[in-house]
């Protein structure tokens, strides 16, 4: 399929061929008929992307602060590598479209193949021949209203602003400042609900679309707007004002205050400087609120994946706003098609966007991109999710290793794929698979993979691919391990290898049933770090030791995917096998006993994010492990302190090892968590014999079993969090 994308590094816009999307269980695939261009929003994104690095920094100081925090934690080189990787990653344009459902996931009940739908969202409704969309971000439409319904996201945004005016709309007076596409849609919705509407915009061209509506009065002269609006409301003011323009001053807010009645409401739908004199709001006891996107649930990951809010708690969520917008269109209460001033074939979209940036389209209001209605292209493409570009096979200095990478998020893109590229003479880059078609296409192009896909099963079943690197969400790990065991594919997978005792038992049973297995390792990379190797070289494995491992992890968002039950439900299962592995490596001894406690707190997240555990090793050593989200990010992140034979050895963030005692020394290191060394060892170990491969895999299973036991022990007093 073809998709319109932009590079954030230089602002270049292009149409790229990408692999077709593959729906998850709650998703639909839509063949796009129309997509709406949000002139103001998309133009501002493009202009920012076209700025220099300094220009971007001036416009986004918040991101600059985050860069400096990252430098403090991981070092300059690693941070800048991540920054430039992000800048080099393309992103899709557009967030509102309509089209026909051509595929759906197993749990989708409200849509059928052949239904026409309005789809919304920055990751779900792009300017693309096909879009994959959670069923919660779509609404069924009458095919005859496909053009109007392509503006679904803009309708949601306008609808949410209208909802924030708490006044009963029937018979009320509402002013709208700004008559761009959002101002026009907002004004029509207000009129449909029975409000008397006063609209101001200095551009008369944008007002003409509202002039025939008897409930709407339009003004291109500000003085007339202010004077007549007050006069027609008995000089007491309007019930509410919606500001839908985009400016850098506070002028629209001052105007809104001047025409508002006492206890009136002001909603900022667009952009303006909100630094106004508090006394101006206080004098009339005005309410002021900034409208966020399409309503409750918008930009919330859980919501957009299908978890709608109960009707009796949040009536007008984003999806219900979309449904109401479509209802108004199909009942002919509003006329969105009348706002369309320009329609462009998708194949000409790059030219259109370049003209937009140059200011040649500044008077356009509603703009649609139109897509081919031919079914031939899509019938051919949907036979496979693979975007293929075959090359002649080359001989390998290894054992003919053909690589498939599943998942390419921040960690995969910034760290693992660049390392794998350095092994390009030993590996054939066969397959890249990510959930996002754009990401898959970009990684294919950048790292010269032969094939790109959005369907993980396609990669795991591919006969040519015999080596898998997996960076998937934890909920997929068990299935990936079982599939690789069955298909005899070598696997390096991110921790944890599984997320529950039931999954562990399933893997262990499969392992014991097999006579021959591939090499399977988990990404416990820290023991491969040069600083850890130096630390270990100064330890005597014949003598017991006391180890303190202190993890200052910092807090993460409460809705982070790590907290989902399918991904383990807590950070202990997700992250802590790393540190059990380190303790076993440093002592040279397995665990014989585990105890632990979590912090007592009325806040469940604090309880599950803060815990302490004690490991007894079979050689008599003891490891004390502390994990906390309560500390400062300006301090260390990981610290290891070891007491043995009159020495204290301390490692801080894999950048410094300080030894005090008879072996007194201090050594600094470049921040290196051992990823390259682990990958090198993994590729070398593929040639090991079966006994060695089985021993390695059993050690990985022992680690996750210890991690699950630790979780049980730590949360034994709080079973609801385990």
Confidence of residue 720 (pLDDT cuts 50, 70, 90): very low
Would you say residue 213 has pLDDT above 80?
A: yes
Would you say residue 516 has pLDDT above 90?
A: yes
Strand segments (E) across 113-253:
116-120, 130-134, 138-140, 173-177, 196-200, 216-219, 238-243
Helix (H, G, I), strand (E, B) or coil at 142: coil
**pLDDT for the residue numbered 563:** 84
Average pLDDT over residues 696-702: 96
**pLDDT for the residue numbered 719:** 46
Question: What DSSP string describes 561-589?
Answer: GGGSGGGTSSHHHHHTHHHHHHHHHHHT-
Helix (H, G, I), strand (E, B) or coil at 186: helix
**pLDDT for the residue numbered 363:** 80
Q: Check residues 556 and 235 and name the one with the higher pLDDT.
A: 235
| pLDDT tens per residue, range 465-478 | 999 999 999 999 99
Would you say residue 552 has pLDDT above 90?
A: yes
**pLDDT for the residue numbered 12:** 83
Would you say residue 62 has pLDDT above 90?
A: no
Would you say residue 216 has pLDDT above 80?
A: yes
Tell me, rounded to whole angstroms, the distance of Cα 250 from its chain centroid.
33
Query: What pTM, to 2 d.p., does this model score?
Result: 0.75
Contact of 2 with 18, CB cutoff 8 Å: yes
Average pLDDT over residues 10-14: 81
**pLDDT for the residue numbered 647:** 96
Residue 437: how many CB atoms within 10 A of its CB?
A: 28
Residue 155: how many CB atoms within 10 A of its CB?
A: 31
Helix, strand, coil % over all residues of the chain, rounded to 5: 40, 25, 35
**pLDDT for the residue numbered 115:** 97
The topology (CATH level 3) of 165-290 is: Rossmann fold (3.40.50)
| pLDDT tens per residue, range 128-149 | 999 999 999 999 999 999 999 9
**pLDDT for the residue numbered 556:** 85
Comparing C-alpha atoms, which of 122, 151, 93, 110 is closest to residue 28?
Answer: 110
Superfamily of domain 2-153+301-376: Medium-chain alcohol dehydrogenases, catalytic domain (3.90.180.10)
The topology (CATH level 3) of 399-520 is: Rossmann fold (3.40.50)
2-153+301-376 and 399-520, same CATH topology: no
Mean pLDDT check: name the lowest of 35-49, 121-135, 293-307, 667-681.
Answer: 35-49
Residue 602, CA distances (Å) to 399, 553, 713, 717 in order: 55, 20, 20, 14
Bridge partners of 265, per DSSP, are: 240, 287
**pLDDT for the residue numbered 434:** 94
Kindly report whether the peptide bond that precedes residue 496 is cis, defined as omega within 30 degrees of 0: yes
Contact of 299 with 216, CB cutoff 8 Å: no
Q: Check residues 414 and 614 and name the one with the higher pLDDT.
A: 614
Contact of 54 with 164, CB cutoff 8 Å: no
Would you say residue 66 has pLDDT above 90?
A: no
Q: Check residues 358 and 60 and name the one with the higher pLDDT.
A: 358
**pLDDT for the residue numbered 385:** 45
- Rounded to a whole number of angstroms, the distance between the first and last alpha carbons of the chain is 44
Buried b (16+ CB within 10 A) or exposed e, 199-223: bbbeeeebbebbeebeebbbbbeee
pLDDT cut 70: percent of the chain above it: 89
Helix-helix angle 501-513:477-487, to 10 degrees: 0
Can you tell me the distance from the alpha carbon of 518 to that of 50, in angstroms, rounded to the nearest whole number? 48
Average pLDDT over residues 706-710: 95
Confidence of residue 73 (pLDDT cuts 50, 70, 90): low
| pLDDT tens per residue, range 17-49 | 999 999 988 999 999 999 999 887 776 666 655
**pLDDT for the residue numbered 72:** 64
Strand segments (E) across 582-715:
591-598, 611-617, 622-628, 638-644, 647-652, 656-660, 665-668
Helix (H, G, I), strand (E, B) or coil at 278: helix
Would you say residue 319 has pLDDT above 80?
A: yes
**pLDDT for the residue numbered 451:** 95
**pLDDT for the residue numbered 50:** 58
Q: Check residues 398 and 199 and name the one with the higher pLDDT.
A: 199
Reading the block at residue 716, the tokens are 């034994």
Instruction: Return the biggest CA–CA distance within the chain.
Output: 92
Q: Tell me the domain boundaries of the chain.
A: 2-153+301-376, 165-290, 399-520, 526-721
Q: Check residues 20 and 304 and name the one with the higher pLDDT.
A: 20
| pLDDT tens per residue, range 365-406 | 999 999 987 655 444 443 344 343 333 333 334 458 999 999
| pLDDT tens per residue, range 626-660 | 999 999 988 899 999 999 999 999 999 999 999 99
Bridge partners of 196, per DSSP, are: 173
**pLDDT for the residue numbered 315:** 83
Range picked from 58-72, 75-89, 428-442 for highest mean pLDDT = 428-442
| Mean pLDDT value across the chain | 88
**pLDDT for the residue numbered 69:** 65
Q: Check residues 85 and 133 and name the one with the higher pLDDT.
A: 133
Q: Does domain 526-721 have CATH number 3.30.360.10?
A: yes
Number of continuous H segments (helices) and E segments (strands) in the chain: 27, 31
């Amino acid at each position: 399929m073809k998709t319109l994308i932009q590079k954030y590094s230089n602002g270049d816009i292009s149409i790229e061929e990408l692999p077709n999307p593959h729906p998850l269980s709650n998703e639909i695939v839509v063949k796009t008929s129309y997509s709406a261009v949000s002139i103001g929003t998309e133009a501002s994104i493009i202009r920012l992307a076209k700025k220099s690095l300094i220009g971007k920094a001036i416009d986004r100081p918040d991101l600059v602060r985050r860069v400096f925090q990252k430098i403090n934690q991981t070092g300059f080189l690693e941070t800048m590598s991540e920054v430039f990787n992000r800048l080099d990653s393309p992103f899709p344009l557009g967030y509102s479209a309509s089209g026909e459902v051509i595929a759906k996931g197993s749990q989708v009940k409200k849509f059928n193949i052949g239904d026409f739908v309005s789809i919304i969202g920055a990751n779900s409704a792009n300017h693309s021949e096909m879009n994959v969309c959670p069923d919660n971000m779509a609404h069924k439409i009458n095919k005859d209203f496909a053009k109007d319904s392509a503006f679904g996201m803009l309708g949601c945004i306008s609808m949410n602003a209208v909802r924030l005016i708490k006044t009963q709309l029937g018979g009320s007076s509402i002013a709208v400042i700004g008559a761009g596409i959002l101002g026009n849609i907002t004004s029509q919705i207000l009129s449909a609900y029975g409000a008397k509407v006063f609209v101001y915009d200095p551009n008369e061209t944008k007002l003409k679309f509202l002039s025939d509506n008897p409930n709407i009065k339009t003004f291109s002269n500000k003085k007339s707007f202010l004077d007549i609006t007050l006069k027609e409301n008995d000089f007491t003011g309007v019930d509410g004002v919606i500001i839908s323009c985009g400016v850098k001053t506070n002028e629209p807010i001052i105007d809104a205050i001047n025409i508002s009645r006492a206890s009136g409401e002001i909603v900022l739908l667009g952009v303006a400087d909100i630094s106004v004199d508090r006394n101006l709001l206080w004098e009339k006891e005005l309410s002021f609120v900034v409208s966020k996107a399409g309503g409750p649930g918008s930009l919330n990951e859980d919501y957009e994946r299908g978890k709608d809010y109960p009707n009796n708690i949040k009536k007008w969520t984003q999806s219900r706003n979309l449904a109401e917008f479509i209802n108004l269109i199909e009942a002919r209460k509003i006329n969105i098609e009348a706002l369309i001033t320009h329609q462009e074939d998708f194949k000409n979209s790059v030219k259109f966007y370049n003209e937009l940036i140059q200011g040649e389209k500044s008077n356009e209001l509603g703009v649609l991109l139109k897509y081919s209605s031919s079914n031939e292209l899509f019938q051919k493409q949907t036979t496979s999710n693979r975007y293929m570009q075959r090359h002649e096979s080359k001989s390998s200095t290894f054992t003919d290793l053909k690589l498939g990478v599943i998942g390419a998020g921040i960690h995969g893109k910034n760290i693992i794929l660049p390392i794998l590229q350095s092994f390009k003479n030993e590996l054939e880059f066969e397959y890249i698979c990510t959930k996002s078609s754009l990401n898959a296409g970009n990684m294919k192009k950048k790292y010269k993979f032969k094939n790109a896909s959005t369907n993980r099963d396609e990669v795991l079943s591919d006969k040519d691919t015999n080596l898998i690197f997996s960076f998937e969400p934890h909920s997929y790990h068990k299935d990936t391990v079982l599939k690789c065991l069955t298909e005899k594919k070598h696997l390096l997978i991110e921790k944890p290898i599984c997320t529950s005792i039931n999954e562990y038992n399933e893997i262990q049973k499969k392992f014991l049933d097999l006579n021959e297995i591939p090499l399977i390792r988990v990404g416990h990379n820290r023991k491969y770090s040069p600083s850890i190797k130096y630390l270990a070289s100064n330890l005597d494995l014949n003598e017991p030791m006391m180890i303190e491992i202190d993890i200052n992890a910092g807090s993460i968002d409460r809705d982070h995917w790590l907290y989902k039950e399918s991904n383990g439900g807590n950070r202990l299962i997700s992250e802590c096998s790393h540190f059990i592995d380190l303790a076993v490596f440093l002592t040279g001894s397995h665990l014989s006993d585990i105890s632990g406690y979590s912090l007592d707190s009325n806040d469940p997240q604090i309880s599950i994010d803060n815990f302490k555990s004690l490991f007894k090793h079979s050689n008599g050593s003891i490891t004390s492990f502390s994990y906390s989200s309560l500390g400062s990010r300006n301090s260390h992140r990981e610290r290891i302190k070891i007491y043995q034979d009159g020495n204290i050895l301390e490692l801080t963030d894999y950048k410094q090892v300080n030894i005090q005692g008879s072996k007194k020394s201090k050594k600094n290191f470049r921040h290196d968590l051992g990823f390259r060394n682990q990958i090198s060892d993994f590729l070398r170990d593929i040639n090991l014999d079966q006994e060695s491969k089985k021993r390695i895999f059993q050690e990985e299973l022992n680690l996750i079993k210890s991690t699950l036991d630790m979780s049980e022990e730590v949360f034994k007093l709080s079973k609801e969090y385990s």
